[in-house]
Amino acid sequence: MGGNMKDKKFLIAMVVIVVLALVLLYVLLIGPKIQGYVVQRQIDAQQVAVQTIVQVVNQQGYVVLGQGNDSIILVKYNPEQGQPGQGQLNQQQ
């Protein structure tokens, strides 16, 4: 009867040790690999999005980004042309 109780305690202790070992393995090895993969895919997606926006601006001269009433217009900037409206300010002065 006493040996049966020791066997159960030993089995429970072994199960706890195995579970803790698996958790430690996940935290130290598997989790960081998964997180690194996810971050790299996010970086790749960001690069593709920016490249696509730049291509559209190069093709059309502008692109409108937004949702509903909140929007922003991106236009191609050419420093040789100066800023729009700059000539009007100089003429008024």
6-19 pLDDT per residue, tens: 899 999 999 999 99
Structure tokens at 87: 């000539």
Beta strands in 1-93 (DSSP E): 62-67, 70-75
22-69 pLDDT per residue, tens: 999 999 999 999 999 999 999 999 999 999 999 999 999 889 998 888
Structure tokens at 61: 């001269």
Q: How many CB atoms lie within 10 A of CB 15?
A: 10
pTM score over 0.85: no
The total number of structural domains in the chain stands at 1
Range of the domain at 34: 2-92
